[in-house]
Amino acid sequence: MSRRGSDFAGLSVALVTPFTDGKLDVAKLKEQIEFQIDAGTTCVVPAGTTGESPTLSHPEHERLISETIQIAAGRIKVMAGTGSNSTSEAISLTERAAKEGADATLQVAPYYNKPTQEGFYQHYKAIAEAIEIPICLYNIPGRTGKNIDPETIARIAEFQTITMVKEATGSLDQASQVLSMTDLTVLSGDDSLTLPLMAIGGEGVVSVVGNIVPKDMIALVNSFAAGDVAKAQEWHHKLFPLCQDLLSIASNPIPVKAAMAELGRDTGELRLPMTPLNADQLTALRQTLANYGIDTFSRA
């Protein structure tokens, strides 16, 4: 089956948002985007969960996306995180991102207010009818409090601008239903489930660990896409402990920001209510990086 959104197959990286003294660090953002371009990453995703979007003011949110698009300059796709639990706000943010030149938009399921399935449908219907760039649904009930059912996703998929699903339910049954009921491209929202999801028809991942080792994630995805299942399995087993620890030592993006600080690639600065790793957690993270073979001698 030819799937909508397949031009976003491969590795998309959910960028961390670099802060210095409480403000967006554009120089560090540029370094991070150039790092992804050099690695061969398909797409960068600013202002998502990993980008601490709930703590960004509206002007900061818009600036982060604008700066990312300008730095990317067409050399890498940009999927702007412009979702909200307010439909009108999601439309406004998305219209601004589209005007700036975003290639697509990541639309998280409305969080906190826990809409009905009809509410989900009407929310995405309003967005799809208001904008023209491709839309990726972001289904992450662990963060939002409620699942978008496969049947609802199939209804939403009637709108042609809906082209992708970032699948972060952790359920291969749910992903299988979406793949069988729609022609949407499904991207893993969990690094550790990238290979299992691709095995049932997914086409890549929106990755956290890709901030650190994008070439390894690309190798996994490309190996499977090329039919080399054994090599893909090797990469899966190598990456699994790193993926697991970066999402279990503490809430995302706390560990990945700490890891990037260890590598001298980010300040590690977080915004409340996110707080840094404690001493024991940092020791565990350093051990995870060492076990993977990541050298932290250059940490700032």
Question: Torsions phi, psi of 126, nearest 5?
Answer: -65, -40
DSSP code, position 77: E
Place of tokens 């995870």: 288
* DSSP reduced 3-state for 188: strand
C-beta of residue 164 within 8 angstroms of C-beta of residue 135: yes
C-beta of residue 239 within 8 angstroms of C-beta of residue 1: no
User: H or E segment at 161?
Assistant: none
> CB neighbours (10 Å) of residue 273?
8
Choosing from 28, 77, 146, 166, the catalytic residue is 166
Is-catalytic flag, 166?
yes
Choosing from 121, 124, 138, 292, the catalytic residue is 138
Question: Torsions phi, psi of 46, nearest 5?
Answer: -85, 155
Catalytically active residues are 138, 166
